[in-house]
């Protein structure tokens, strides 16, 4: 369970769209440490970078972890800490619910945006320096 939270944090820490109170509550001091542990959790094969497959796995796991009524859709009530604005950004068809596809699309966009050297993987530095627009 703890793992899901840190995974969400990496991906959401990157984007701030899937609700995670942790990412918002994190102070500047513990922010780096927080991201490092989240990064390590997401880096499943421990090669020091996060590739697309790892993001896909993590987003799926995070999605299932957040989907408390298991209907394969996330409603605002299931996303603690997400603002209406963040939610709307991911809800591309505006039906008030997030599907895995919508979330995945959003996360892969973030993945590409965070990949500043465009080598197809995210280094810890890239994740740390990625500043999503609020
Ligand atoms: Ca990896
Ligand atoms: Ca939707
Ligand atoms: Ca990269």
Q: How far is the CA of 52 from the centre of ligand 3 (A)?
A: 11
pTM, whole model, 2 decimals? 0.74
**How many C-beta atoms lie closer than 10 Å to residue 120's C-beta?**
11
Residue 38 pLDDT > 50, yes or no? yes
Residue 43 in contact with residue 49, Cβ under 8 Å?
yes
Ligand closest to Cα of 55 equals 1
Report how far apart, in Å, the C-alpha atoms of 65 and of each of 5, 9, 108 are: 9, 13, 19
Looking at 27-36, 95-104, 119-128, which range is the least confident one? Answer: 27-36
Q: How far is the CA of 49 from the centre of ligand 1 (A)?
A: 5
Q: How far is the CA of 8 from the centre of ligand 3 (A)?
A: 19
Q: How far apart are CA 66 and CA 77, in angstroms?
A: 10
Q: How far is the CA of 75 from the centre of ligand 1 (A)?
A: 30
Q: What is the pLDDT of residues 104-114, one digit of tens each?
A: 999 899 899 99
Closest-CA residue to 104 (of 22, 35, 31, 17): 17
Q: How far is the CA of 92 from the centre of ligand 1 (A)?
A: 29
Rg value, the chain, Cα: 14
Ligand closest to Cα of 90 equals 2
- Tokens 């299932």 sit on residue: 64
For residues 6-30, give the mean pLDDT: 42
- What are the structural domains, with CATH classification, of the chain? 2-129 (1.10.238)
Q: What is the structure's pLDDT at 19?
A: 36
- Would you place residue 36 in the very low, low, confident or very high pLDDT band (cuts 50, 70, 90)? confident
């Amino acid at each position: 369970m703890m793992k899901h939270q840190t995974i969400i944090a990496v991906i959401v820490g990157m984007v701030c769209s899937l609700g995670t109170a942790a990412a918002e509550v994190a102070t500047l001091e513990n922010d780096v440490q927080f991201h490092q542990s989240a990064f390590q959790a997401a880096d499943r094969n421990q090669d020091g970078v996060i590739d697309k497959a790892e993001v896909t796995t993590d987003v799926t796991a995070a999605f299932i972890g957040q989907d408390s009524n298991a209907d394969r859709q996330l409603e605002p009530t299931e996303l603690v800490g997400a603002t209406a604005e963040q939610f709307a950004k991911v809800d591309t068809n505006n039906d008030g619910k997030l599907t895995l596809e919508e979330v995945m699309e959003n996360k892969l966009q973030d993945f590409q945006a965070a990949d500043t050297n465009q080598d197809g993987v995210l280094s810890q530095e890239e994740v740390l320096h990625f500043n999503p627009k609020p």
